[in-house]
Structure 1
């Protein structure tokens, strides 16, 4: 069996509240009228009509919030018909007062003012047409009635404004909460992507070097050289692998430092930057690639995020050369300008950007440069492949921006 009224969140539903108010007003009006009937007598027909008008006026209050203007009109008409007819003078005016207040509170301000003015005008004209000595409402009562009508409209209007303000505050609070949650999710996503990109750059470069170094050693050993030559080749390869993996672990610890617990010590090794460019070049040379470096201009200290971005661009470019290009030589050029650093990494290998897609990280390098207001281009040349990057020295103060999408 369905209940007539639903309770939402422990609160009475609007319809149930309207029914309760309607019943309370009806009981109050009926009780007052029964008391008044003991001191006034009238024909039975008038009594029946009077009670019918009271039932109509009070019953209309159930629709006061869904049809506020119509409810106010119905209760006013019921009062206009009831008071000249009935000798008992029950307080049916309460129903109209509540309906008038609700009309203003529901935002029908013009209608509520019109109804209040019509009521006051009708009562005033009706009293002026009475014979001298037969008026039921004197001038003082008429002024008080005007004050009550104005007060009802004003209070209803104030309630409407208050509720609108509370709704606006609630909406702003919900919007702020949603925005805060969205920012938190975005920050978490960006941080995960940033870490993923760093891991890709660190592990991709080191594993590529280890792969090339071990492959070169296996190639030498496959020719079945003399034992002492084979031992020397294996030892050289293992030393290179050991050095490369050691550097990879150092960078990996630094990259994962953001995930440390509060009581864990920070890594003491230096973080990656152009100061370690020599070590990066030496590691690339162990793969058999002839890497040369040139520096133009006067080097200046870079902000740590920009320094790391420059290092990663060179690192990823050399990784691409050793992994995909089949190049014999590569050149890393640093051109220090007054307001920017120009990087150029060239090789004599083969392959366009479309032919070097897998793990190239070209998109990631471009996003690193753009994160600090720079730019990066990668294109084939007549002699091989070239990566050009521009990084402003006065980079905006931002945390390293995470690329949207693939961390490579």
Structure 2
């Protein structure tokens, strides 16, 4: 396919311009159109010029017609004329469309015809100069267009290769982000529920009271059921058959608080009215609350916690505070995962001592997620 697909209007304008040049040249050379030869030459000009309109669809046949018109013009008037411009345009198009062999053959035929006509009209000693000039001119056209076409094709191939590499890199980046997201989901879900199961099992072992043991086993059963459900949902995403309506979000916060409360932790929620959250923001907020409550259950030694969700400028603010006395150690996988979730959406997460003691997790998530710079 040519790199220069002209519009019909531009194509018609070019054909008209070439036709006017050839026609004016005929009138000037013949000093009018009076004889039969002049009228026949006019028909050759019109036929060759009209054929140029189809040069992009049929480049080689149009070049043949243009060459025939030039030969007929020279035979009728016994001299070359501006009609050669018709053949040059047709030959240029044939080379530009990739028909190099045909263009070389037709160019050689035109040189041969020009040499025969030049030899018949002039002495042999003076005829070679014009023929060589004509041959050099055509060679320059063919070589120049061929070089430009090769450069264009090389540039097009380089652009296509660069585009393919960018697409591959983007696909690889998206796959990596999806793997990290699934890994975080598995860590948050399994870590949260298994921590609760561990707490309940430890309580049952250390307090051999039938009533407490029954309560602990009931909590373990319910927690393990929820664990299996979330695990199936996450694995369903890998199989691309998960129902997005079941994706965890803040609408499941009550279930999360109930599950965490089975470990003996008293949890209060303070939920302000917020605008509808995008799916990824809703899911990230839920996972941050889940991981924070897991850390409270395992490390804080707390008896109570509060979960707050409220709008904050152009985003939503999620806060989890506890009344524990344990001093947190170095940030682990849980805090790192919460921070990654917030940063992946262009938000932020801070952790540290709360204003009233204990420990606080504070996450700001924008309503219009945008990945933060790495």
CA distance in structure 2 between the partners assigned to 1:237 and 1:308 by the alignment = 29
Question: What is the SS of the residue equivalent to 2:340?
Answer: helix
Question: What is the SS of the residue equivalent to 1:291?
Answer: strand
Contact kept? 2:190, 2:227, Cα under 8 Å = yes
Match in the other structure for 1:289: 265
Contact kept? 2:303, 2:324, Cα under 8 Å = yes
Deviations 1:358-400 (A, max 9, x none): 33x22222232233343221112461211111223x324x7xx
Contact kept? 2:321, 2:354, Cα under 8 Å = no
CA distance in structure 1 between the partners assigned to 2:155 and 2:206 by the alignment = 74
Query: Given the alignment, which residue of 114, 126, 137 partners 1:139?
Result: 126
TM-score (ref. length: structure 1)? 0.56
Shift of 1:402: 11
Match in the other structure for 1:65: none
Contact kept? 1:324, 1:356, Cα under 8 Å = no
More helix by share: 2
CA distance in structure 1 between the partners assigned to 2:323 and 2:373 by the alignment = 30
Query: Given the alignment, which residue of 231, 235, 255 partners 1:256?
Result: 235
Match in the other structure for 2:146: 159
More RCO (CA 8 Å, sep 6+): 1
CA distance in structure 2 between the partners assigned to 1:369 and 1:338 by the alignment = 16
Deviations 1:269-310 (A, max 9, x none): 843221221221122221122222223x32443232221111
CA distance in structure 2 between the partners assigned to 1:337 and 1:160 by the alignment = 62
Match in the other structure for 2:320: 345
Contact kept? 2:348, 2:363, Cα under 8 Å = yes
Shifted more, 334-343 versus 181-190: the winner is: 334-343
Number of residues of Structure 1 aligned to a counterpart in Structure 2: 252
Question: What is the SS of the residue equivalent to 2:324?
Answer: coil
Match in the other structure for 1:276: 252
Query: Given the alignment, which residue of 364, 367, 373 partners 1:390?
Result: 364
Deviations 1:342-373 (A, max 9, x none): 221111224555x15333x2222223223334
Matches within 5 A, 1:54-203: 138-203=125-190
- 5+ residue gaps in structure 1? 1-135, 222-229
Matches within 5 A, 1:181-330: 181-221=168-208, 230-260=209-239, 266=242, 270-295=246-271, 297-330=272-305
Deviations 1:234-257 (A, max 9, x none): 111111011111111222222222
CA distance in structure 1 between the partners assigned to 2:361 and 2:172 by the alignment = 34
Once superposed, what is the RMSD of the aligned Cα atoms? 2.8
CA distance in structure 2 between the partners assigned to 1:183 and 1:347 by the alignment = 41
Contact kept? 1:250, 1:269, Cα under 8 Å = no
Shifted more, 320-329 versus 211-220: the winner is: 320-329
Aligned in 2, Cα 1:318/1:402: closer, same or farther, shift over 3 Å?
A: farther
Contact kept? 2:345, 2:372, Cα under 8 Å = no
Shift of 1:320: 1.0
CA distance in structure 1 between the partners assigned to 2:162 and 2:218 by the alignment = 59
